[in-house]
Amino acid sequence: MLLHINPALFKLLHGFPPWIMPTDGNLGDKNVQMGKPGHREGATMHVKKYLLKCLHRLQKGPGYTYKELLVWYCDNTNTHGPKRIICEGPKKKAVWFLLTLLFTALVCWQWGIFIRTYLSWEVSVSLSVGFKTMDFPAVTICNASPFKYSKVKHLLKDLDELMEAVLERILAPELSHANATRTLNSSIWNHTPLVLIDERNPHHPMVLDLFGDNHNGLTNSSASEKICNAHGCKMAMRLCSLNGTQCTFRNFTSATQAVTEWYSLQATNIFAQVPQQELVEMSYPGEQMILACLFGAEPCNYRNFTSIFYPHYGNCYIFNWGMTEKALPSANPGTEFGLKLILDIGQEDYVPFLASTAGVRLMLHEQRSYPFIRDEGIYAMSGTETSIGVLVDKLQRMGEPYSPCTVNGSEVPVQNFYSDYNTTYSIQACLRSCFQDHMIRSCKCGHYLYPLPRGEKYCNNRDFPDWAHCYSDLQMSVAQRETCIGMCKESCNDTQYKMTISMADWPSEASEDWIFHVLSQERDQSTNITLSRKGIVKLNIYFQEFNYRTIEESAANNLVWLLSNLGGQFGFWMGGSVLCLIEFGEIIIDFVWITIIKLVALAKSLRQRRAQASYSGPPPTVAELVEAHTNFGFQPDTAPRSPNTGPYPSEQALPIPGTPPPNYDSLRLQPLDVIECDSEGDAI
């Protein structure tokens, strides 16, 4: 018995393209006549058939159950243990199962150790020694006094008078009270005064102002007249904010330290209000400071130096910086091939309370790098000849993830305030830029010692009366330092200059007279001696040898090390290889595949059960489906049926059972391409 269906109905039901037509109405016939769609439609049809075959293969799955798949793996794998589990008797199976499980755990444990060691990114350091002609380092020299006292005296007049009164009060308190007739600038003192803390009674300490005012509110004014000795009192600097309502004390163990730090803080407030160009003119000019210069056999002078203004030391001069010209090489090691300088520091014009050290501050560094001479420099004494022998160490770090370093600082989240100098990245520049950034955000102004970003102002007592208190808190903040250290990184490539320093008196007593006469004549065109031993410094800077050391990082554990150790452990404990891992990966994929198929089948079954539960009547027959698509006016029999009378009306007799129709495949409504897939079988 064959069922014939209209071709238009067939296309309507299954959405086939119009050129695919059955040769007759027989659904069991597998021959399909192609129309004339062209080569493009034929290719589309082939792709569709291929995808349907692939989908059919995916739906079919590996063809195993879980147990069959596990047995197949144990029987065919190249790993030794699982084979014995299948082949041996019951007792040996248990033994081999335990041994395989134990050695698998050992392999996984060892693998975890090796992978964790590899991911720790450890480095090994190698030291190599080379010999070649090297570029002479950049040399920065500064005077220990930032300004000439004769040029800044008018700015420091009130501060110096106040400083003298403070020293009189410390050294001779009774005499200073009796002779206190001078008028002092109280505005400077009121911002950050120096106080004495009387700790002779530890349960009741008193804070005494140096000029007689009591500030702790616990004793009467006569208490300020008491004289503290060195053991009973200590000096401190009082820093207040919010109009004096919130104060802290910065303690010192010596009055010398206290007055030096206090004077430096007040001088910073004064110089911060002066334009930088005026500060440059108040410092020591190069033509007066650099008396003689010789590099190897070539003469040089102050014009061969680049001038920069360093707030802590005033005008500084850099030789061989390499900004506008190529770096100078050193022809040979030794004193005669280095840099020789004779400098005049003009010690007689030092600022008395600001510069307590006399000499030259110098530093050796790479070309195009900013000299942080206050932190990395050394002093050369006046009246001496200082010889500095140089050895070179080159550091090469690997970078991320092995070392937290940077090549040019582009990935560091800190704005470099030293970028105006066009210098290379350094961690010192990053740390100081970070501190200045915190200073601007916390105190609303920048510190005088560090570069200032555009649009911001330096801190001073007039515009920012609370800045000293804010600066002190920020300077003592551990959290601020840790934040900046965490954000800044070391440079991946660095050059360090190791110095061997020796000194001798210069000039000697026998040659002092004629040397000073010649130098005075050359600089001041004077027949009189205008120089003295207190202001003269001679420097000799040279390479001790052309040997240089390279300290280079390399990965302690690379990928080859990791793979060899993983393979060694796997082969030693289980006799396996990479192919065994591939086999294990294959069975895992098959397990997942079977699980997905079972989950999909379970979901379909649940969906069908819910659909059957919601349908009250029997399912439609094939004839009803065909009639519904061919006759749009057809309505199925939906007469209500009483639950008491059963599925048929009471007035109708029950149908007489007859012979059921044959179960032909041709009666199934299936797409044509699926019929072809069934006919081809498992061709894939």
Please tell me the predicted confidence (pLDDT) of residue 179.
52
Report whether pLDDT(27) > 50: no
pTM score: 0.71
Instruction: For residue range 268-281, list pLDDT tens digits in order.
Output: 999 999 999 999 99
- Alpha-carbon gap, residue 96 to 100, rounded angstroms: 6
Cα torsion 297, 302, 307, 309 to 10°: value is 120
Report whether 452 contacts 436 (CB < 8 A). Answer: yes
Question: Which one has a higher pLDDT value, 81 or 438?
Answer: 438
Helix (H) or strand (E) holding 131: strand 123-131
Q: Are 267 and 157 in contact (CB under 8 A)?
A: no
User: For residue 391, is pLDDT > 80?
Assistant: yes
pLDDT digits (tens, 9 = 90+) for 84-95: 777 777 888 788
pLDDT class for 324, splitting at 50, 70, 90?
A: confident
402-406, 494-498, 566-570, 662-666: which has the minimum mean pLDDT? Answer: 662-666
For the segment 18-25, the average pLDDT, to the nearest whole number, is: 42
What size, in residues, is the chain? 684
Q: Name the average pLDDT for the chain.
A: 80
- Mean pLDDT, rounded, for 380-397: 94
623 pLDDT tier (thresholds 50, 70, 90) = confident
pLDDT at 196 over 70: yes
Q: Out of 189-203, 432-446, 494-508, which region has the weakest mean confidence (pLDDT)?
A: 189-203
Which pLDDT tens digit goes with each residue over 299-323? 999 999 999 999 999 999 999 999 8
Q: Which residue has 């010692």 as its token pair?
A: 449
Q: Is the pLDDT of residue 422 over 50?
A: yes
The pair of three-digit structure tokens given for residue 70, joined into one six-digit string: 């596990």
3-state secondary structure of 345: coil
Q: Which residue has the higher pLDDT, 445 or 59?
A: 445
Neighbours of 470 (CB within 10 A): 18
CA distance linking residue 249 with residue 244, whole number of Å? 12
pLDDT above 50 (res 67): yes
Confidence at residue 46, expressed as pLDDT on a 0 to 100 scale: 80
Confidence bin at 218 (pLDDT 50/70/90): very low
* pLDDT over 80 (residue 655): no
Residues 111-121: tens digit of each pLDDT: 999 999 999 88
Residue-wise pLDDT for 549-565, tens only, equals 888 888 888 889 999 99
**What domains, with CATH codes, occur in the chain?**
125-147+286-398+497-555 (2.60.470.10), 156-171+185-211+228-272 (no CATH), 404-491 (1.10.287.820)
Cα-based torsion angle of the residue sequence 426, 428, 434, 436 in order, rounded to the nearest 10 degrees: -120
In this predicted model, what pLDDT tens digit does every residue of 366-378 receive, in sequence order?
999 999 999 999 9
Mean pLDDT of 491-503: 93
What's the pLDDT tens digit per position in 327-365? 999 878 889 999 999 999 999 999 999 988 999 999 999
Q: Could you give phi then psi for residue 287, rounded to 5 degrees?
A: -70, -20
Among 527, 416, 430, 533, which Cα is nearest to 485's?
Answer: 430
CA of residue 545 relative to chain centroid, distance: 38
Nearest to 192 by CA among 464, 461, 477: 461
- 72 pLDDT higher than 70: yes
Which band of pLDDT confidence, cut at 50, 70 and 90, is reported for residue 60? Answer: low
pLDDT-derived band at 415 (thresholds 50, 70, 90) equals very high
Q: Which of 171-180, 198-207, 328-337, 623-632 has maximum average pLDDT?
A: 328-337
Q: Cα–Cα distances in Å, from 204 out to 173, 218, 452?
A: 23, 9, 44
Q: Can you give the pLDDT at residue 268?
A: 93
CA distance 366 to 346: 29
pLDDT of 185 above 70: yes
Quickly state the pLDDT bin for 216 (edges 50, 70, 90).
very low
